[in-house]
Amino acid sequence: MATAVTAIAYLDGQRLARGLLAGIARVAADAEHLNRINVFPVPDGDTGTNLAVMLGAVRAALLRQQERHAGRLLEIVADAALDGARGNSGAILAQFFHGLCDATQDRQLLTTPLFVTAVERGADYAREALSEPREGTILTVVRDFATELGEQIASGGQDFAALLEAGLARAQRSLAATTNQLEALRKAGVVDAGAQGFVDLLQGITDFVRHGSLRRRSEDVSLEPGAAGRAPEASFFDAGDAGGHRWCTECLVTGDLDRRRLREALAGLGSSLVIAGGTRRARIHIHVDDPAEVFRAAARFGEVSGRKADDMQAQQEAARSGAGTVAVVTDSAADLPEELLTSLDIHTVPVRIHFGGRSYLDKVSLDTSEFYRMMAESEVHPTTSQPPPGDFRRLYQILASHHAGIVSIHVTGWGSGTFQAAQSAADRAGTKAPVLAVDSRSASIGQGLVALRAAELAAEGHSADEIVLALDRIVAGTRTWALLGSIEHAVRGGRVPPSKRMLARLLRLEPILATFPDGRIGTAGALFGHHNRINRFARWIARRAGPAQGQRLAVGHADAPAAAGELLAALEDRMPGLEQAFVTEIGTALGVHGGPGTLVVALQRLDT
């Protein structure tokens, strides 16, 4: 005699958590596939990574707090999802969880009717989060799932397993239909990536409720994207466009929020606007050309944190042309002309800049000219901080979906935690493609030249291991010097002791900073007097440069283009036969210590 299957009439917090953990693991296993089919609203290849990052925050919260009360459990989930939300689909799914939370917050157990009501609320919240909801996306599949659950309850369904199976089947049919609902999906022959992620979540939950033990713990389930992913498909990334906007911009705003006015303030700034959360905390997601406008607008409504801006153009280029190649990553302390960064497909993670209580993303929400203007006018000396490891990890996971390996080159680990953050992220990226972090032992243009040479080797077809091996020689053959615009900034920034300031004033010295072989940045010399400083700095460099043949030279300036041009001409006159020479702006790495007027020279041997 067959054993009857016991109906599941309710979910408590522990059952719900275990089901969610199983669903989260399913999404993470499919992350690389989701990245590859991501063509709408922008073909930037990051939907799987975004969902894995957001659900990873949910998973961590579930494992920290063993909550039996279902309503409080969903409150934990909603808060974690809002904090971890990334990308369009991540923000929408976070808002779906917020709806579940609001419908169940005082209920210890979820019966099937209450669960259906909560899902319907979540579907409504998800749709309301978008300024321009579109059919054929995750919104359609969520709505169809909720509709099927309602029909099942209306016909007398009371078993959670049967209810979820019917809802999953409807969601799968709805997912398949998305291919013909949006032109970008039809052209690429794929389903919507965010909707596929939602169905993956449902599949994992449903399989667990039907076949798994509700007593089982799921802490050991891997959440690394691609842990059990599908085989790679062909790339579909020519199927969409960026809508004319470059930056996928996000932040969290906290305060007494008027969501209608917040939406009105943001709606005209770009496209793909999603506002997830409630009246106290909201996650903003929008595609724009100027992230600073978003952060300024959000600051009028509350405290802004969690600033992020991803370069969608760079992501699309990686998706189109990355197969079999090595991606090169650096941080914004590296100073290179934009055309070189673009032509060699060098990816950049922004450093944080702080003026007192105000924070910015270097070269994203604060450009170099504005930085130096603020530095000259502010009574508060700016400070910098490294990007969080999550910024690196997320970029690594996106790039790993399209590249054979990743080499990540960063500002000297002496005096900065950026390399350590990158190394930590590389160790935990969980990607099939190797991610190798390298300390440039340099800064500013010197760091930029190291990244530039690595990108040239990548373009020649070298592997990640071969590039890292070559970088030992490249780093040793790259030198950087800086003539400060003002010693005051170096003293305030801690690079020059206060005692040397008085000596410099008395003797009319102009200190020259340098990067040393061990990665230190310190004083390497000085010019006596202020007359003819540029020619004398050029002569000082030329005496230490060695033979010009086989070397590449770069001159950088802090809001002083005319002086940089004069310095380049003087150096070329004294060093005939250079392989390459160019001028670029410098950002925070050395500029924060020298201020406006600082000049930087970097030399790199190409024949080692």
Cα angle, residue 395 at apex, residues 393 and 397 outer, rounded to 5°? 70
Closest CA to 44 of 93, 90, 87, 92: 87
Name, in order, each residue with C-beta under 8 angstroms of 186's C-beta and a sequence gap of 6 or more: 179, 180
For the beta carbon of residue 484, count every other beta carbon within 10 angstroms: 27
User: Helix, strand, or coil here: 560?
Assistant: coil
The DSSP-derived string for 513-528 is EEE-TTS-EEEEEEEE
Question: CATH number for the domain including 330?
Answer: 3.40.50.10170
Shared domain for 425 and 326, answered yes or no, is yes
Mean pLDDT by 10 residues, the chain (608 residues): 61 92 94 89 84 92 90 94 90 95 93 95 94 92 97 89 95 96 93 96 92 50 39 35 76 92 92 91 93 94 90 78 84 94 92 87 89 85 87 89 93 90 90 94 96 96 96 96 77 62 61 91 82 93 94 96 96 95 90 87 89
Shared domain for 413 and 462, answered yes or no, is yes
pLDDT of residue 492: 66
Element (H, E) at 284: strand 281-288
Shared domain for 329 and 445, answered yes or no, is yes
Q: Of 261, 296, 311, which closes a domain?
A: 311
CA dist 406 and 100 (Å) reads: 39
pLDDT of residue 377: 84
Instruction: Provide the β-strand partners of residue 271.
Output: 287
Shared domain for 321 and 261, answered yes or no, is no
The DSSP-derived string for 196-240 is HHHHHHHHHHHHHHHHS-TT---TT----TTTTPPPP----TTS-
Shared domain for 374 and 489, answered yes or no, is no
Residue 220 in any domain: the answer is no
pLDDT of residue 578: 95
Question: CATH number for the domain including 285?
Answer: 3.30.70.260
Residue 149 near residue 167 (C-beta atoms within 8 A):
yes
Closest CA to 216 of 60, 55, 21: 21
User: Helix, strand, or coil here: 304?
Assistant: strand
Closest CA to 559 of 585, 590, 589: 585
CA dist 418 and 389 (Å) reads: 9
Write the CA distances from 421 to 44, 414, 596, integer angstroms: 24, 13, 29
Residue 54 near residue 94 (C-beta atoms within 8 A):
yes
The phi and psi torsions of 72 (rounded to 5 degrees) equal -70, -35
Element (H, E) at 319: helix 312-321
Residue 560 near residue 530 (C-beta atoms within 8 A):
no
pLDDT of residue 171: 97
Question: CATH number for the domain including 116?
Answer: 1.25.40.340
The phi and psi torsions of 287 (rounded to 5 degrees) equal -100, 125
pLDDT of residue 252: 93
Residue 116 in any domain: the answer is yes
pLDDT of residue 74: 95
Shared domain for 398 and 447, answered yes or no, is yes
Shared domain for 451 and 581, answered yes or no, is no
CA dist 376 and 370 (Å) reads: 10
The radius of gyration of the chain's CA atoms, rounded to the nearest angstrom, is 27
Q: What does the chain come to in residues?
A: 608
Residue 221 in any domain: the answer is no
Residue 484 near residue 493 (C-beta atoms within 8 A):
no
CA dist 54 and 308 (Å) reads: 14
Terminal C-alpha separation, the chain? 79
CA dist 532 and 564 (Å) reads: 14
Residue 223 in any domain: the answer is no
Residue whose token pair is 């039996």: 68
Omega into 387 within 30° of 0, i.e. cis? no
Residue 226 in any domain: the answer is no
Write the CA distances from 383 to 97, 319, 355, 578, 588, integer angstroms: 37, 35, 7, 36, 9
CA dist 47 and 85 (Å) reads: 11
Shared domain for 162 and 151, answered yes or no, is yes
Residue type, 516: F
CA dist 25 and 163 (Å) reads: 21
Name, in order, each residue with C-beta under 8 angstroms of 414's C-beta and a sequence gap of 6 or more: 441, 518, 519, 520, 521
Residue 218 in any domain: the answer is no
CA dist 436 and 446 (Å) reads: 19
Q: Of 475, 495, 510, which closes a domain?
A: 475
Shared domain for 346 and 272, answered yes or no, is no
Residues of the domain holding 594: 478-605
pLDDT of residue 493: 60
Name, in order, each residue with C-beta under 8 angstroms of 466's C-beta and a sequence gap of 6 or more: 457
pLDDT of residue 429: 85
pLDDT of residue 584: 96
Number of domains forming the structure of the chain: 4
Residue whose token pair is 């005096």: 415
Residue 19 in any domain: the answer is yes
Q: Of 195, 211, 227, which closes a domain?
A: 211
Shared domain for 150 and 35, answered yes or no, is yes
Name, in order, each residue with C-beta under 8 angstroms of 169's C-beta and a sequence gap of 6 or more: 148
Name, in order, each residue with C-beta under 8 angstroms of 511's C-beta and a sequence gap of 6 or more: 484, 487, 490, 496, 500, 504, 523, 525, 526
Shared domain for 14 and 162, answered yes or no, is yes
Residue 119 in any domain: the answer is yes
Shared domain for 458 and 487, answered yes or no, is no
